[in-house]
Amino acid sequence: MFSPTLLDVLREDRLLAVLRGGDADALTACAAVLAGSGVRAVELTLSSPAGLEALRRSAADPALPPGTLLGAGTVLTRDQARAAIDAGARYLVTPGVSEEVLAEGVAQDVPVLCGALTPSEAMAAVRLGATAVKLFPAYAVGGARYLRDLRAPFPDVPFIAIGGIALDHVADYLAAGAVAVGVGSPLLREAAHDSGPAALAALAARAGAYLAATSGQEQA
């Protein structure tokens, strides 16, 4: 059976869910709800120890839908990259250009979505073997308009826009040429620390809304 790669999934679904928080139980529950709602690319950040623990638990969950790709975000060092891969990460995400994380990803054949903000950083990310370039923080530098301008000299580089992307901005980023959008706090909201039924039901509804916003969008 064909097993889709990370870029296959991002090009088809156009959505990467970013889970950040300090409660491993809540993050694990969020990952399960998002995957059950049809979100196939889920990133758990390492900005707190809870992220790595939630990644480990989620990767070992037999109920996780087949085809779900779990990754580790905010990966800053080679040691973090190794720990994330050992915990079950299928890809790594960095906030900026990290040569050691990219080198570990290449060595272990694990895709790296490398953070970049400028043309020079995008060039460095590609040169070092990034699978895609993560434009971060997208909203702070002009949003979709900046992405369109940045993408002009790099038409063949897959860009993923992340950072403050509200639901009503999704279409703009995709029209500007993003392969996908990464969404964190606008998607998670209270579910990042509340694993109660109401919070998780609201998360599932927001996931459905984001998937609806990305479906049928042609890549520029």
Please identify every residue annotated as catalytic: 43, 134
Q: What share of the chain is helix, strand, coil (3-state, %, to 5)?
A: 50, 15, 35
Strand partners, 116: 135
Q: Label residue 96 exposed, middle or buried (CB < 10 Å: 0-12, 13-18, 19+).
A: middle
φ/ψ of 182, rounded to 5, equals -105, 130
* Cα angle 81-83-88, degrees, rounded to a multiple of 5: 95
CB 183 within 8 A of CB 165: yes
Q: Give the chain's largest Cα–Cα span.
A: 47
CB 76 within 8 A of CB 82: no
Question: Rounded to a whole number, what is the distance in angstroms from the first to the last CA of the chain?
Answer: 29
